[in-house]
Chain A
Protein backbone atom coordinates (compact mmCIF):
# COMPACT_ATOMS: atom_id res chain seq x y z
CA UNK A 1 0.00 0.00 0.00
CA UNK A 2 1.35 3.40 -0.96
CA UNK A 3 0.81 4.92 2.47
CA UNK A 4 2.68 2.29 4.43
CA UNK A 5 5.57 2.37 2.01
CA UNK A 6 5.80 6.11 2.29
CA UNK A 7 5.70 5.89 6.06
CA UNK A 8 8.20 3.07 6.11
CA UNK A 9 10.54 5.31 4.16
CA UNK A 10 10.59 7.80 7.01
CA UNK A 11 13.17 7.25 9.69
CA UNK A 12 12.29 8.35 13.20
CA UNK A 13 14.58 11.32 12.73
CA UNK A 14 12.01 12.72 10.29
CA UNK A 15 9.67 13.32 13.20
CA UNK A 16 12.48 14.72 15.32
CA UNK A 17 13.23 17.32 12.67
CA UNK A 18 9.57 18.31 12.48
CA UNK A 19 9.44 18.60 16.27
CA UNK A 20 12.52 20.80 16.27
CA UNK A 21 10.96 23.04 13.65
CA UNK A 22 7.83 23.41 15.75
CA UNK A 23 9.81 24.17 18.90
CA UNK A 24 11.89 26.66 16.95
CA UNK A 25 8.85 28.46 15.62
CA UNK A 26 7.36 28.52 19.10
CA UNK A 27 10.52 30.11 20.45
CA UNK A 28 10.52 32.64 17.63
CA UNK A 29 6.92 33.53 18.32
CA UNK A 30 7.65 33.97 22.00
CA UNK A 31 10.68 36.17 21.37
CA UNK A 32 8.83 38.34 18.88
CA UNK A 33 6.07 38.86 21.42
CA UNK A 34 8.59 40.45 23.76
CA UNK A 35 9.69 42.78 21.00
CA UNK A 36 6.25 44.47 21.04
CA UNK A 37 6.11 45.40 17.39
CA UNK A 38 2.70 47.02 17.67
CA UNK A 39 0.30 46.19 14.89
CA UNK A 40 2.74 43.65 13.42
CA UNK A 41 2.37 41.54 16.56
CA UNK A 42 -0.97 40.04 15.57
CA UNK A 43 -0.03 39.38 11.97
CA UNK A 44 3.29 37.76 12.85
CA UNK A 45 2.03 35.58 15.66
CA UNK A 46 -0.89 34.33 13.58
CA UNK A 47 1.38 33.73 10.62
CA UNK A 48 3.71 31.65 12.75
CA UNK A 49 0.73 29.79 14.22
CA UNK A 50 -0.50 29.06 10.71
CA UNK A 51 2.94 27.78 9.76
CA UNK A 52 3.08 25.51 12.80
CA UNK A 53 -0.40 24.13 12.13
CA UNK A 54 0.47 23.50 8.51
CA UNK A 55 3.55 21.58 9.61
CA UNK A 56 1.50 19.46 12.02
CA UNK A 57 -1.13 18.86 9.33
CA UNK A 58 1.34 17.94 6.62
CA UNK A 59 3.90 15.91 8.54
CA UNK A 60 2.41 14.62 11.77
CA UNK A 61 -1.02 14.01 10.26
CA UNK A 62 0.56 12.89 6.97
CA UNK A 63 -1.63 15.12 4.84
CA UNK A 64 1.29 15.53 2.47
CA UNK A 65 0.91 11.88 1.51
CA UNK A 66 -2.88 11.82 1.30
CA UNK A 67 -4.98 12.12 -1.80
CA UNK A 68 -6.60 15.33 -2.97
CA UNK A 69 -10.06 14.70 -1.52
CA UNK A 70 -8.66 14.16 1.96
CA UNK A 71 -6.50 17.29 1.73
CA UNK A 72 -9.46 19.42 0.69
CA UNK A 73 -11.31 18.66 3.92
CA UNK A 74 -9.23 20.75 6.35
CA UNK A 75 -8.62 23.34 3.62
CA UNK A 76 -12.35 23.86 3.19
CA UNK A 77 -13.02 23.95 6.91
CA UNK A 78 -10.33 26.56 7.45
CA UNK A 79 -11.56 28.59 4.49
CA UNK A 80 -14.99 28.86 6.07
CA UNK A 81 -13.49 29.80 9.42
CA UNK A 82 -11.66 32.57 7.62
CA UNK A 83 -14.93 33.68 6.01
CA UNK A 84 -16.72 33.86 9.35
CA UNK A 85 -13.92 35.77 11.04
CA UNK A 86 -13.41 38.12 8.10
CA UNK A 87 -17.01 39.21 7.83
CA UNK A 88 -17.46 39.54 11.59
CA UNK A 89 -14.32 41.66 11.69
CA UNK A 90 -15.54 43.76 8.77
CA UNK A 91 -18.71 44.48 10.69
CA UNK A 92 -16.88 45.70 13.78
CA UNK A 93 -14.19 47.56 11.87
CA UNK A 94 -16.70 49.20 9.60
CA UNK A 95 -18.92 50.54 12.34
CA UNK A 96 -19.26 54.27 12.46
CA UNK A 97 -20.32 54.19 16.08
CA UNK A 98 -17.94 55.56 18.62
CA UNK A 99 -16.85 53.52 20.50
CA UNK A 100 -17.24 50.44 18.33
CA UNK A 101 -18.55 48.48 21.25
CA UNK A 102 -22.23 48.81 22.09
CA UNK A 103 -22.99 51.18 24.93
CA UNK A 104 -25.90 50.10 27.12
CA UNK A 105 -28.55 52.72 27.80
CA UNK A 106 -28.80 52.13 31.52
CA UNK A 107 -25.35 53.47 32.38
CA UNK A 108 -25.01 56.73 34.41
CA UNK A 109 -25.84 60.15 32.94
CA UNK A 110 -22.31 61.32 32.08
CA UNK A 111 -22.50 58.57 29.51
CA UNK A 112 -24.68 60.82 27.37
CA UNK A 113 -22.10 63.64 27.38
CA UNK A 114 -19.28 61.30 26.59
CA UNK A 115 -21.43 59.85 23.82
CA UNK A 116 -22.20 63.20 22.28
CA UNK A 117 -18.64 64.41 22.56
CA UNK A 118 -17.47 61.19 21.06
CA UNK A 119 -19.96 61.47 18.22
CA UNK A 120 -18.32 64.68 17.13
CA UNK A 121 -15.13 62.72 16.70
CA UNK A 122 -16.94 59.97 14.82
CA UNK A 123 -15.16 60.48 11.51
CA UNK A 124 -11.85 59.61 12.96
CA UNK A 125 -12.27 55.84 12.47
CA UNK A 126 -8.59 55.16 12.47
CA UNK A 127 -7.90 56.34 15.99
CA UNK A 128 -11.26 55.27 17.37
CA UNK A 129 -9.69 52.16 18.86
CA UNK A 130 -7.52 54.01 21.28
CA UNK A 131 -10.09 56.67 21.90
CA UNK A 132 -12.79 54.12 22.51
CA UNK A 133 -10.92 52.51 25.32
CA UNK A 134 -9.78 55.83 26.68
CA UNK A 135 -13.37 57.03 26.64
CA UNK A 136 -14.63 53.98 28.45
CA UNK A 137 -12.04 54.25 31.14
CA UNK A 138 -13.04 57.84 31.78
CA UNK A 139 -16.57 56.66 32.45
CA UNK A 140 -15.19 54.42 35.12
CA UNK A 141 -15.35 50.67 35.40
CA UNK A 142 -18.42 48.73 36.45
Chain B
Protein backbone atom coordinates (compact mmCIF):
# COMPACT_ATOMS: atom_id res chain seq x y z
CA UNK B 1 0.00 0.00 0.00
CA UNK B 2 1.53 3.35 -0.96
CA UNK B 3 2.35 5.64 1.92
CA UNK B 4 0.10 8.63 2.41
CA UNK B 5 1.94 11.83 1.71
CA UNK B 6 1.87 14.66 4.22
CA UNK B 7 1.45 18.00 2.51
CA UNK B 8 3.66 20.88 3.54
CA UNK B 9 1.07 23.05 5.19
CA UNK B 10 -0.30 20.39 7.54
CA UNK B 11 1.38 19.51 10.80
CA UNK B 12 0.19 15.90 10.82
CA UNK B 13 -1.50 13.38 8.56
CA UNK B 14 -4.44 13.26 10.92
CA UNK B 15 -4.94 17.00 10.55
CA UNK B 16 -4.67 16.72 6.79
CA UNK B 17 -7.28 13.98 6.61
CA UNK B 18 -9.61 15.83 8.92
CA UNK B 19 -9.22 18.94 6.77
CA UNK B 20 -10.04 16.97 3.63
CA UNK B 21 -13.15 15.49 5.20
CA UNK B 22 -14.27 18.79 6.65
CA UNK B 23 -13.66 20.35 3.24
CA UNK B 24 -15.87 17.79 1.58
CA UNK B 25 -18.68 18.41 4.05
CA UNK B 26 -18.35 22.13 3.36
CA UNK B 27 -18.62 21.36 -0.36
CA UNK B 28 -21.70 19.19 0.27
CA UNK B 29 -23.29 22.17 2.01
CA UNK B 30 -22.96 24.16 -1.21
CA UNK B 31 -24.52 21.29 -3.16
CA UNK B 32 -27.47 21.27 -0.77
CA UNK B 33 -28.04 24.96 -1.41
CA UNK B 34 -27.85 24.33 -5.16
CA UNK B 35 -30.85 22.03 -4.99
CA UNK B 36 -32.53 24.41 -2.56
CA UNK B 37 -33.31 26.87 -5.34
CA UNK B 38 -35.31 24.23 -7.19
CA UNK B 39 -37.04 23.07 -4.02
CA UNK B 40 -37.95 26.68 -3.34
CA UNK B 41 -39.56 26.99 -6.75
CA UNK B 42 -41.37 23.71 -6.22
CA UNK B 43 -42.74 24.92 -2.89
CA UNK B 44 -43.94 28.21 -4.30
CA UNK B 45 -45.55 26.75 -7.39
CA UNK B 46 -47.15 23.92 -5.48
CA UNK B 47 -48.82 26.47 -3.27
CA UNK B 48 -50.00 28.33 -6.35
CA UNK B 49 -51.32 25.32 -8.20
CA UNK B 50 -52.08 22.65 -5.57
CA UNK B 51 -54.67 20.68 -7.49
CA UNK B 52 -52.81 20.71 -10.80
CA UNK B 53 -49.59 19.62 -9.12
CA UNK B 54 -51.34 16.73 -7.42
CA UNK B 55 -52.94 15.63 -10.69
CA UNK B 56 -49.68 15.89 -12.61
CA UNK B 57 -47.81 13.95 -9.93
CA UNK B 58 -50.36 11.20 -10.33
CA UNK B 59 -49.19 10.81 -13.88
CA UNK B 60 -45.68 9.89 -12.72
CA UNK B 61 -44.76 6.24 -12.47
CA UNK B 62 -44.82 5.48 -8.75
CA UNK B 63 -43.41 2.03 -9.32
CA UNK B 64 -40.30 3.25 -11.07
CA UNK B 65 -39.90 6.10 -8.61
CA UNK B 66 -40.11 3.77 -5.62
CA UNK B 67 -37.82 1.17 -7.14
CA UNK B 68 -35.30 3.93 -7.84
CA UNK B 69 -35.55 5.07 -4.24
CA UNK B 70 -34.86 1.56 -3.00
CA UNK B 71 -31.99 1.22 -5.48
CA UNK B 72 -30.29 4.35 -4.19
CA UNK B 73 -30.85 3.45 -0.56
CA UNK B 74 -29.33 0.04 -1.20
CA UNK B 75 -26.39 1.50 -3.06
CA UNK B 76 -25.86 3.86 -0.13
CA UNK B 77 -25.76 0.88 2.20
CA UNK B 78 -23.32 -1.02 0.03
CA UNK B 79 -21.07 2.01 -0.29
CA UNK B 80 -21.06 2.40 3.50
CA UNK B 81 -20.27 -1.31 3.80
CA UNK B 82 -17.47 -0.88 1.28
CA UNK B 83 -15.87 1.68 3.56
CA UNK B 84 -16.28 -0.74 6.45
CA UNK B 85 -14.57 -3.40 4.34
CA UNK B 86 -11.71 -1.07 3.43
CA UNK B 87 -11.21 -0.34 7.11
CA UNK B 88 -11.11 -4.05 7.80
CA UNK B 89 -8.59 -4.66 5.04
CA UNK B 90 -11.09 -6.71 3.00
CA UNK B 91 -9.89 -5.45 -0.37
CA UNK B 92 -11.87 -7.78 -2.63
CA UNK B 93 -15.11 -7.34 -0.70
CA UNK B 94 -14.70 -3.57 -0.83
CA UNK B 95 -14.17 -3.55 -4.58
CA UNK B 96 -17.13 -5.89 -5.08
CA UNK B 97 -19.38 -3.69 -3.02
CA UNK B 98 -18.33 -0.54 -4.88
CA UNK B 99 -18.90 -2.26 -8.22
CA UNK B 100 -22.34 -3.32 -7.00
CA UNK B 101 -23.06 0.29 -6.05
CA UNK B 102 -21.98 1.43 -9.49
CA UNK B 103 -24.36 -1.13 -10.92
CA UNK B 104 -27.14 0.32 -8.80
CA UNK B 105 -26.37 3.79 -10.06
CA UNK B 106 -26.40 2.66 -13.66
CA UNK B 107 -29.68 0.85 -13.11
CA UNK B 108 -31.10 4.01 -11.58
CA UNK B 109 -30.19 5.98 -14.68
CA UNK B 110 -31.60 3.33 -16.99
CA UNK B 111 -34.91 3.36 -15.14
CA UNK B 112 -34.90 7.13 -15.27
CA UNK B 113 -34.40 6.91 -18.98
CA UNK B 114 -37.33 4.52 -19.27
CA UNK B 115 -39.44 6.92 -17.29
CA UNK B 116 -38.42 9.90 -19.39
CA UNK B 117 -39.29 7.90 -22.46
CA UNK B 118 -42.73 7.15 -21.05
CA UNK B 119 -43.23 10.85 -20.55
CA UNK B 120 -42.04 11.68 -24.03
CA UNK B 121 -44.48 9.15 -25.47
CA UNK B 122 -47.24 10.99 -23.63
CA UNK B 123 -46.04 14.28 -25.10
CA UNK B 124 -44.70 15.55 -21.82
CA UNK B 125 -41.65 17.55 -22.75
CA UNK B 126 -40.01 20.37 -20.81
CA UNK B 127 -40.80 23.97 -21.63
CA UNK B 128 -42.46 25.03 -24.83
CA UNK B 129 -42.40 21.57 -26.34
CA UNK B 130 -45.05 20.28 -23.94
CA UNK B 131 -47.73 18.50 -25.93
CA UNK B 132 -49.86 16.46 -23.56
CA UNK B 133 -53.55 16.97 -24.18
CA UNK B 134 -54.85 15.42 -21.00
CA UNK B 135 -52.84 17.35 -18.43
CA UNK B 136 -53.33 20.91 -19.50
CA UNK B 137 -52.96 24.07 -17.54
CA UNK B 138 -50.07 26.11 -16.28
CA UNK B 139 -49.69 24.13 -13.07
CA UNK B 140 -49.18 20.84 -14.86
CA UNK B 141 -46.60 22.31 -17.21
CA UNK B 142 -44.73 23.94 -14.35
CA UNK B 143 -44.82 20.66 -12.45
CA UNK B 144 -43.22 18.80 -15.30
CA UNK B 145 -40.68 21.56 -15.90
CA UNK B 146 -39.68 21.20 -12.28
CA UNK B 147 -39.73 17.43 -12.64
CA UNK B 148 -37.23 17.57 -15.49
CA UNK B 149 -35.09 20.22 -13.84
CA UNK B 150 -34.89 18.46 -10.48
CA UNK B 151 -34.39 14.96 -11.79
CA UNK B 152 -32.03 16.29 -14.45
CA UNK B 153 -29.83 18.08 -11.95
CA UNK B 154 -29.97 15.00 -9.74
CA UNK B 155 -29.01 12.75 -12.67
CA UNK B 156 -25.98 14.94 -13.37
CA UNK B 157 -24.95 14.39 -9.78
CA UNK B 158 -25.53 10.65 -10.13
CA UNK B 159 -23.22 10.60 -13.13
CA UNK B 160 -20.53 12.54 -11.30
CA UNK B 161 -21.05 10.21 -8.33
CA UNK B 162 -20.58 7.20 -10.59
CA UNK B 163 -17.29 8.61 -11.85
CA UNK B 164 -16.21 9.04 -8.23
CA UNK B 165 -17.30 5.47 -7.44
CA UNK B 166 -15.29 4.18 -10.42
CA UNK B 167 -12.27 5.92 -8.97
CA UNK B 168 -12.98 4.24 -5.63
CA UNK B 169 -13.37 0.87 -7.29
CA UNK B 170 -10.12 1.21 -9.13
CA UNK B 171 -8.35 2.37 -6.00
CA UNK B 172 -9.58 -0.46 -3.84
CA UNK B 173 -8.80 -3.06 -6.53
CA UNK B 174 -5.24 -1.73 -6.77
CA UNK B 175 -4.92 -1.75 -3.02
CA UNK B 176 -4.53 1.99 -2.75
CA UNK B 177 -6.90 2.05 0.20
CA UNK B 178 -6.69 -0.02 3.31
CA UNK B 179 -6.95 0.02 7.10
CA UNK B 180 -5.53 3.32 8.32
CA UNK B 181 -5.52 4.64 4.75
CA UNK B 182 -9.17 5.07 3.97
CA UNK B 183 -9.60 8.83 4.28
CA UNK B 184 -9.88 9.49 0.56
CA UNK B 185 -12.15 6.51 0.09
CA UNK B 186 -14.49 7.96 2.66
CA UNK B 187 -14.60 11.26 0.77
CA UNK B 188 -15.98 9.46 -2.28
CA UNK B 189 -18.61 7.65 -0.26
CA UNK B 190 -19.80 10.89 1.30
CA UNK B 191 -20.55 12.33 -2.12
CA UNK B 192 -22.60 9.29 -3.09
CA UNK B 193 -24.64 9.54 0.11
CA UNK B 194 -25.54 13.11 -0.79
CA UNK B 195 -26.94 11.88 -4.09
CA UNK B 196 -29.07 9.45 -2.10
CA UNK B 197 -30.26 12.10 0.37
CA UNK B 198 -31.39 14.47 -2.37
CA UNK B 199 -33.43 11.70 -3.96
CA UNK B 200 -34.98 10.84 -0.59
CA UNK B 201 -36.61 14.27 -0.69
CA UNK B 202 -37.29 14.29 -4.41
CA UNK B 203 -39.27 11.04 -4.34
CA UNK B 204 -42.19 12.14 -2.15
CA UNK B 205 -42.38 15.55 -3.81
CA UNK B 206 -42.59 14.21 -7.34
CA UNK B 207 -44.24 10.85 -6.88
CA UNK B 208 -46.14 10.52 -3.62
CA UNK B 209 -47.99 13.82 -3.27
CA UNK B 210 -50.52 12.89 -5.87
CA UNK B 211 -54.30 12.92 -5.93
Contacts and interface: CB of A to CB of B under 8 A. Distances in A.
Interface residues of B, number: 58
B100 interface: no
A99 B50 CA distance: 11
Contacts of B48: 92, 99-101, 132
Given A53-B201, A73-B25, A15 B14 contact: no
B28 interface: yes
A88 interface: yes
* Residue of A16, A59, A70, A133 most packed against chain B (CB within 10 A): A133
Majority secondary structure of chain A interface residues (helix, strand, loop or mixed):
helix
B43 A26 contact: no
Contacts of B197: 53, 56-57
Nearest to B50: A129
Contact of B47 (A15, A45, A76, A93): A93
A7 B87 contact: yes
A126 interface: no
B32 A74 contact: yes
Interface string A61-103: 1000000011001101110110011001101110000011100
Contacts of A16: 77
B17 to A, nearest CB: 9
Contacts of B33: 77, 80-81
8 contacts: A48-B204, A49-B203, A52-B200, A73-B28, A84-B36, A84-B37, A133-B49, A134-B51
Interface string A33-65: 100100001100110110011001101110000
A23 interface: yes
Interface string B149-177: 00000000000000000000000000000
A4 B86 CA distance: 11
Interface stretch (B2-10, B107-115, B118-126, B136-144): B136-144
Contact of B200 (A53, A69, A89): A53
Given A4-B180, A73-B25, A88 B40 contact: yes
Contacts of B180: 4
